[in-house]
Amino acid sequence: MSLQINETEYGMFGKCLRMARDGKELLVTLDRGPYIIRYGFEGEDNMFYEDVDKFATNDVTDSPYKENLWWVVGGHRLWASPEVAPRTYYPDNYPVKYEVDGDTVTFAAPPQEWSQIQCTTRVSMREGGNVILEHRITNLNAWDIELAPWTVTVMNPDGVVYIPQNERKTGFFPNKWVCYWDYTPMNDSRINLGRDYITLSLDPENDVAAKIGVLNEHGWMAYLSKGNAFIKKFGFTEGADYPDNGCNCESYTCKKYTEMECLSPMAKLAPGAGAVHMETWILKKASSIEEI
Domains of the chain by start residue, with CATH:
4-291 (2.70.98.10)
User: What is the number of other CB atoms lying within 10 angstroms of the CB of residue 145?
Assistant: 20
Tell whether the model's pLDDT for residue 114 goes beyond 80: yes
**Helix, strand, coil % in the chain, rounded to nearest 5:** 5, 45, 50
249-270 average pLDDT score: 98
What is the pLDDT at residue 262? 98
Residue 1 has pLDDT above 80, yes or no: no
Q: Residue range 48-65: average pLDDT?
A: 94
pLDDT given for residue 19 in this prediction: 98
CA gyration radius for the chain?
Answer: 18
Instruction: Summarize the confidence of residues 11-25 as an average pLDDT.
Output: 98
Q: For residue 152, which of 35, 30, 280 has the smallest C-alpha distance? A: 35
SS3 246: helix
Confidence of residue 89 (pLDDT cuts 50, 70, 90): very high
Read off φ and ψ for residue 58, nearest 5 degrees. Answer: -115, 140
% of the chain residues with pLDDT over 90: 98
Residue 57 has pLDDT above 80, yes or no: yes
Sign of CA dihedral 244, 276, 106, 161: negative
The strand ranges marked E within 86-157 are 97-101, 104-108, 117-125, 131-139, 145-155
| Residue 244, H or E segment | helix 243-246
Lowest mean pLDDT among 65-74, 119-128, 142-151, 215-224: 65-74
C-alpha pair distances (Å), 290 with each of 118, 196, 249, 251, 285: 39, 11, 20, 21, 12
Per residue in 160-214, pLDDT tens?
A: 999 999 999 999 999 999 999 999 999 999 999 999 999 999 999 999 999 999 9
Bridge-partner residues for 286, per DSSP? none
Query: In Å, how far are 7, 15, 125, 133, 159 from 1, measured between CA atoms?
Result: 19, 25, 12, 20, 29
Can you say how many angstroms the Cα of residue 222 is from the centroid of all Cα atoms in its chain?
12
Nearest-angstrom CA–CA distance, 12 and 62: 27
Residue 163 buriedness (CB in 10 A; 0-12 / 13-18 / 19+): buried
Read off the pLDDT of each residue in 205-229 and give the average, rounded to a whole number: 97
Percent of the chain topping pLDDT 70: 100
pLDDT at 102: 94
pLDDT at 123 over 80: yes
Residue 250 has pLDDT above 90, yes or no: yes
Q: Is the pLDDT of residue 117 over 90?
A: yes
- In angstroms, rounded to a whole number, what is the distance separating the alpha carbons of residues 100 and 219? 29
